[in-house]
Amino acid sequence: MRQWLWGVFILGLLGLAACGSAPGSAAPASGPPTATMLIQPTQPPATPAPPTAPATQTTAPPTATVVPSATAQSSPATTSAAKTVSARLGRDVAMHIGDTAAVEGEGVTVEFVSVVEDSRCPVGVQCVRAGRVVVAVRVSRAGQAGEEINLASDPKDASAKTVNGYTVALVNVQPAKTVPGPSLSEYVITVVVTKG
């Protein structure tokens, strides 16, 4: 009986040895399992950049080409060369834009204010109509408010007007119309002032 028990015991030991857990063999160190934690920084996920429009090439606007028109508009002259010239009743007087003609002994002045229109046919060009020049002049009398009137180079278009008992007539306009030009500073008008 004892031998039988010893035989079972030895067989059991042999079986354990065969499974790799024989008594006395070094057992792996036991202890609490260690966990490895990876800490990642908390930041919001990157958002993709909004799509951008394709770059467009910007160019400066083309320079406008000034073409003389049939009508020449101008603002009142403020040239430093403006002067006062002496005039007599019934006598022609020439003025540049901005000039003032003072009629001797009458207390009346006529100022060349602006060129309102110049639709004359340019020199060397064939036109259906000859066109005209319209100028603005300011007629003033001492002690009274001045009045601005338009005078035309064509007698059919009111080349003379009466203000405060004095008539101002446009006699001539120089220079002739050209392309391009003339410039405002080149205009010279001839007027005559009469009484009544």
Contacts of 75 (CB under 8 A, 6+ apart): 114
More confident residue, 120 or 181: 120
Q: Are strands 160-163 and 108-118 parallel, antiparallel or unpaired?
A: unpaired
Q: Is it the case that residue 62 has pLDDT exceeding 90?
A: no
**Given the DSSP bridges, would you call strands 188-195 and 166-174 parallel, antiparallel or unpaired?**
antiparallel
pLDDT for the residue numbered 51 = 56
Closest CA to 189 of 164, 156, 147, 160: 160
The pLDDT score that the predictor gives to residue 135 is: 96
- Say which residue the tokens 């603002």 belong to: 75
Neighbours of 114 (CB within 10 A): 21
Q: What is the mean pLDDT of residues 91-103?
A: 96
| Cα 104 to Cα 94, 96, 112, 189, distances in angstroms | 15, 19, 17, 19
Better pLDDT: 10 or 146: 146
CA torsion 168→74→82→100, rounded to 10°?
10
Residue 82 predicted with pLDDT over 60: yes
* pLDDT of amino acid 71: 39
Per CATH, the number for 84-195 is: 2.60.98
